[in-house]
Amino acid sequence: MLKEYYRDNLDAYDAKSEIQKLSFYPMMFQSALVMMKTGILKEVHQKRRKGITAKEISETLNLPYYGVNTLLETGLTIGLVYLKEDDYYSITKMGFHLLFDEATRVNMNFTHDVCYKSLFHLEESIRTESAAGLKEIGINDETIYPHLSNLEEPIKTSWFDFDHYYSDRAFPEALKIVFKDKPKHMLDIGGNTGKWSIACCKHDNDVKMTIVDLGAQWNVAQENIKNLGLADRINGVVGNVLSKDLKLPENADAIWMSQFLDCFSESQIEHILANINEKMDENATIYIQDLFWDRQKDFAAAYSLHGTSLYFTTVANGNSKMYHSRDMINIINKVGLEVVEDIDEVGEFHTILKCRRKK
Ligand X SMILES: C[S@@+](CC[C@H](N)C(=O)[O-])C[C@H]1O[C@@H](n2cnc3c(N)ncnc32)[C@H](O)[C@@H]1O
Parallel/antiparallel/unpaired status of strands 337-346 and 285-290: unpaired
Nearer to ligand X by Cβ, of 32 and 189: the residue is: 189
d(CA 36, CA 94): 13
Query: Which part of the chain contacts ligand X (CB under 6 A), choosing from 30-38, 177-185, 201-209, 255-263?
Result: 255-263
Nearer to ligand X by Cβ, of 33 and 238: the residue is: 238
Query: Which of 89, 110, 162, 260 is the binder for ligand X (CB under 6 A)?
Result: 260
Residue 322 binds to ligand X (criterion: CB under 6 A): no
Nearer to ligand X by Cβ, of 114 and 263: the residue is: 263
Cα separations (Å) of 213 from 217, 238, 273? 6, 5, 15
Residue 138: left (phi > 0), alpha (psi -120 to 50), or beta? left
Nearer to ligand X by Cβ, of 52 and 209: the residue is: 209
Shortest spacing between CB 4 and ligand X, in angstroms: 30
Residue 43 binds to ligand X (criterion: CB under 6 A): no
Shortest spacing between CB 227 and ligand X, in angstroms: 18
Backbone angles phi, psi at 353, to 5 degrees: -105, 110
Query: Which of 27, 242, 300, 340 is the binder for ligand X (CB under 6 A)?
Result: 242
d(CA 153, CA 158): 8
Q: Are 325 and 295 in contact (CB under 8 A)?
A: yes
Query: Which part of the chain contacts ligand X (CB under 6 A), choosing from 36-44, 111-119, 239-247, 321-329?
Result: 239-247
Residue 319 binds to ligand X (criterion: CB under 6 A): no
Query: Which of 43, 113, 136, 163 is the binder for ligand X (CB under 6 A)?
Result: 163
Residue 145 binds to ligand X (criterion: CB under 6 A): yes
Nearer to ligand X by Cβ, of 89 and 287: the residue is: 287
Shortest spacing between CB 60 and ligand X, in angstroms: 40
**Residue whose CB is nearest to ligand X in the complex, by number:** 190
Shortest spacing between CB 214 and ligand X, in angstroms: 5
Site string for ligand X, 92-131 (x = CB under 6 A): ----------------------------------------
Nearer to ligand X by Cβ, of 34 and 230: the residue is: 230
Residue 311 binds to ligand X (criterion: CB under 6 A): no
Nearer to ligand X by Cβ, of 192 and 319: the residue is: 192
Query: Which part of the chain contacts ligand X (CB under 6 A), choosing from 12-20, 47-55, 213-221, 344-352?
Result: 213-221
| CB-side neighbour CA atoms (13 Å) of 83 | 11
Residue 186 binds to ligand X (criterion: CB under 6 A): no
Residue 263 binds to ligand X (criterion: CB under 6 A): yes
Q: Tell me which residues touch ligand X (CB under 6 A).
A: 145, 148, 163, 167, 190-192, 213-214, 217, 240-242, 258-260, 263
